[in-house]
Structure 1
Amino acid sequence: MSLEQASDIQRRMYDFIVTYMRSEGMPPTNREIGREMNIASTGHVDYHLTMLEKKGLISRQPKKSRGIKLTKQTQGIPVMGAIAAGQPLDIYTDAAESVDTGCQIPEAENTYALIVRGRSMIEDHICDGDYVVIKPQPTCQNGDIVVAVHMQEGVTGSATLKRFFQEKEHDRVRLQPANSELDPILIPKSVWDREWQIQGKVVAIFRQCGTAA
């Protein structure tokens, strides 16, 4: 099925879902869709989402408030959410969309993309709204730009984008922003080993227009 076969309100709802995913790195909730569409009833929103699902434009995961997935995605690298270039953000583990890089990326196998939120890495030319392409790996070298995840009670918590440095002389890890106005995050090695982990390192950066940064 194509979008042309949907009603006007369903086309506008679909466009909002796509725009929201690109902006926020995750699907909107039914209430967020209702506010945007001026629909007071979440049941009314659910009806139109069901119609979009029947037309093959989206799929939904039951009992998940952000369980919408696009079924007509472009080929490319899956966008797995947003990453904070600033204070840590909660991470989202389901692909919201994909980004067509337009070129081959070294080490591209199993990579995924994250939308950058914040300005702490601007001196490395990583700006708010850029896509960073991540190669999943649990280790890194000093100076790598990494996704560092703070684990909370043994489950995945919040993530931040920083340069990694292990400072053995101080028995700590330093997560260094690329913004001279901001201070690094300093983590004692014992706390790092217990509460933090590396999710992957940055292998490419793209702007929303799809050209390399």
Structure 2
Amino acid sequence: MLTRKQHELLTFIHERIRETGVSPSFDEMKEALDLRSKSGIHRLITALEERGFIRRMPHRARALEVVKLPESAAPQSTPAKRGFSPSVIQGSLSEPAPLPDNHHSVPEGGDALTLPLVGRIAAGTPIEALQDDSNHVGVPASLLGSGEHYALEVKGDSMIDAGIFDGDIVVIQRADTASSGEIVVALVDQHEATLKRLRRKGDTIALEAANPAYETRIFPSDRVKVQGKLVGLMRRY
């Protein structure tokens, strides 16, 4: 059984990862829990890790992963990412096509659903995304919110500091708008699909990598179309 502070911290980390795709900093956690020092956060994180609720990703800053939530919070939980073995699509298309219309919506009941694995998305230099929904991947319903979703295989390393690696399967909520700071599937000039953090700056949109080896790319807003927002990630072990 978790203490109140442990539960508050776990919930805060979980919600921040869902909203931004990256775990909060120690300063953000300290402020959210109204603690005076980071040592209190370190103790809470260690306790949560020992109880199997979170795990730390080695050799990376701000890299916490929520493995499970208490049963009382199960409907909003993010399940452990172990055990998923999605089929990886290889290849590319020379011309883009609209996203399929039959992306699956979240069912009202049940523990899991099947999403179309529509192709590859670049976390690096943009590439064309495959538009083939003949492959599918099973996704726990608890990983999803409302609306329509689809899955993509990540290619590249430009989002590694956000915990997104080459070969990961990202779950995308279909959307044509996104708030500044969200990680999105962006279509540039109608033919380059990429997974990046979106920043709005006046009449321009910046697509930020989460890897210092990659530069931020800035475009007039009319050249960038949002095709979805990151809501989950699955990794094969």
Cα deviation, 1:154-180, whole Å, max 9, x if unaligned, reads: xx4120100000012xx4211000001
- Choose which of 195, 211, 215 in structure 2 pairs with 1:183: 215
1:94 Cα deviation from its structure 2 partner: 2.2
1:93 Cα deviation from its structure 2 partner: 1.8
Query: What residue number does 2:231 align with?
Result: 203
SS at match of 1:132: strand
Question: 1: distance between equivalents of 2:91 and 2:120?
Answer: 5
Query: What residue number does 1:174 align with?
Result: 206
C-alpha contact 1:135 1:203 (8 A) present in aligned 2: yes
Query: What residue number does 1:163 align with?
Result: 197
Instruction: Write the letter of the residue equivalent to 1:182.
Output: Y
Query: What residue number does 1:8 align with?
Result: none
Determine if the alignment matches structure 1 residue 90 to structure 2 residue 124.
Answer: no
C-alpha contact 1:25 1:79 (8 A) present in aligned 2: no
Instruction: Write the letter of the residue equivalent to 2:88.
Output: R
Task: Give the total of aligned pairs.
Answer: 134
Q: Which runs of 5+ in 1 are unaligned?
A: 1-20, 28-73
Cα deviation, 1:92-149, whole Å, max 9, x if unaligned, reads: 2221411122452232542000000000000000000001101111100011000010
Q: Structure 1's 98 and 26: CA in aligned 2 closer, same or farther, altered over 3 A?
A: farther
Percent of pairs with identical residues: 35
Note the 1:74-153 alignment, pairs <5 A: 76-102=114-140, 104-107=142-145, 109-151=147-189
C-alpha contact 2:113 2:140 (8 A) present in aligned 1: no
C-alpha contact 2:186 2:193 (8 A) present in aligned 1: yes
Instruction: Write the letter of the residue equivalent to 1:176.
Output: E
Superposition CA RMSD, Å: 2.4
Instruction: Write the letter of the residue equivalent to 2:181.
Output: G
Question: 1: distance between equivalents of 2:168 and 2:134?
Answer: 16
Question: 1: distance between equivalents of 2:169 and 2:215?
Answer: 23
Question: 1: distance between equivalents of 2:187 and 2:147?
Answer: 21
Question: 1: distance between equivalents of 2:92 and 2:149?
Answer: 18
C-alpha contact 2:188 2:224 (8 A) present in aligned 1: yes
Q: Given the two structures, how large is their TM-score scaled by the length of structure 2?
A: 0.52
Structure 1 runs of 4+ aligned residues shifted over 3 Å read none
Cα deviation, 1:4-38, whole Å, max 9, x if unaligned, reads: xxxxxxxxxxxxxxxxx6242779xxxxxxxxxxx
Instruction: Write the letter of the residue equivalent to 2:229.
Output: K
SS at match of 2:148: coil
SS at match of 1:100: strand
Instruction: Write the letter of the residue equivalent to 1:121.
Output: M
